[in-house]
Amino acid sequence: MPLGNGFSRQETLDFVLRAEELGYESIWFGESWGYDAFTTLAWVASHAKKIRLGTHISTIFSRTPAMTAQSAFSLNEISGGRLTLGIGTSGPLVVEHWHGVKWESPLVRTREYVEIIRLALSGQRVDYDGSLYQLKGFKLRDLVEEVKIPIMVASIGPKNIELTGEIADGWLPIFLKRDAIAQCKELIRKGATIAARDLKDFEIAPSVLAAVSDDALITRNMVKAHIAFYVGGMGSFYKNMMSKFGWGSEAEDIRAAWGMPDRKGRVMARDSVTDEMVDQTSVAGSLQHAKNQLMSLFDAGVTLPILMFPFGSDKKVISDTIDIVAPKNI
């Protein structure tokens, strides 16, 4: 949800309460280099009393696993057991240039991070001897009995997706290509097989750019601009992901245009995002087209689409989108 980005706290809270009223299952707040997710969700929990709460995502490079376990336990407790913990590696640009931490060993770090959090939330003393983390002698104070908080992992590469199926309760992809969902589900199943896990309650919860209005061109251009920012301006992380999805030449064009020194480059980058890229990863355009796109996600095996509003969304676009694709209206 868009706390910041030009919206007041009250406007953001109005969006949350409206979503709760319309039957949305959960509300998710991320963190990059602005508001943090846990504090924001604690504030939301004090006003919205039923909707589930999710971190999307808390980066594993910005906090120790013990600190994340403490924050998750605290937020889950004060919200009455409503938290889903979404974690991920983020990317080198934010991790190294903002947090000042070397972005390295993402697979090992993810595995150890999840193992330590689960151990801490079990109420046991945490004695852990990993490659990256060594903990000894402490247990989570104030925890009376084991608390089970769903842990979902944001992952992109094949090995990380497989690891997600092995250790997590759900998967949080971004810009997920509809035609790639079946292949990704196979990777998740492969990981689950390694751990002899049942995937019956496993969530597939992609972040889906969503913008619906009577003027389809405007909302689709907003989505294109958002994709262009990630592919062109966030290092090579998302560019490489788009290339793996078969949009290599488009990603190169976006990156080249984004690097131009004037405003024209941003427009060219946006216009290099194709309609196919929008339709395969987003819910954008007219009312009926957006509904059809959303239903196609469920048909492909998505269990919990998470609506993400593109940069530049005004209050009307967000309000209309929340209303139009609400669970009660689909």
Give Rg (Cα) of the chain: 20
One-letter amino acid at 159 equals K
Residue-range domain boundaries for the chain = 9-211+282-329
Task: Look up the pTM and report it.
Answer: 0.94
Q: Return the DSSP state at 309.
A: P
Calpha distance 77→147 (Å, rounded)? 9
pLDDT at 74 exceeding the cut of 70: yes
Per-residue pLDDT reduced to its tens digit, 117-159: 999 999 999 999 999 999 999 999 999 899 999 999 999 889 9
Residue 188, pLDDT above cutoff 70: yes
pLDDT tens per residue, range 264-302: 999 999 999 999 999 999 999 888 888 899 999 999 999
The string of pLDDT tens digits covering residues 202-213 is 999 999 999 998
What pLDDT shows up at residue 79? Answer: 97
CATH number of 9-211+282-329: 3.20.20.30
Token couple for 170: 């759900």
Question: CA-to-CA distance for 150 and 303, rounded, in angstroms?
Answer: 15
Is 4's pLDDT higher than 80? no
